[in-house]
Amino acid sequence: MPAQPTWLDAVAWDERGLVPAIAQEAGSKDVLMVAWMNREALLETWARGQAVYWSRSRQRLWHKGEESGHVQTVLDVRLDCDRDVVLLTVRQEGHEGHGVACHTGRHSCFFHQLDGEGWAAVEPVLVDPERIYR
């Protein structure tokens, strides 16, 4: 197996070998989602030019959009000042023209807003999740 690039060593991986990754949309600057990456996911993301994350629930690599078709084309990869958070600038590819990043069928996973009484869903469902997930 070829040696991994040395830039992977600059990341401050946690005790599980993971780092949080924020996906931000290039045009709107919306924060679409937060996920986790391990070394392999970050390397695959860089090599493919599409977001690949580590699924903690499935315990495997997860190519964003592998089931839904909502891939994230990666335009830029950055590391924060402490080297413990990755920021991906992405172009969110859509389903029938919708830029859906969330498994709920919404544009962004950040659709709950605190209104003083509780959390309210303030973003519409663009695509019925039953239509896009198997």
CATH class held by domain 6-97 = alpha beta
pLDDT above 70 covers what percent of the chain? 94
pLDDT at 4 over 90: no
pLDDT in the model for residue 95: 57
Are residues 129 and 103 in contact, defined by beta-carbon separation less than 8 angstroms?
A: yes
Amino acid symbol at 77? V
Name the strand (E) or helix (H) holding 55: strand 52-55
Tell me the backbone φ, ψ of residue 103, rounded to 5 degrees: -65, -10
- CA dist., res. 54 & res. 40, Å (int): 8
What's the mean pLDDT in 89-96?
82
Determine which of 16-25, 28-37, 49-58, 90-99 has the lowest per-residue pLDDT on average.
90-99
Q: Give pLDDT tens digits for 108-117.
A: 999 999 998 8
- Tally of CA atoms within 13 A in the half-sphere of 121 that contains its CB: 9
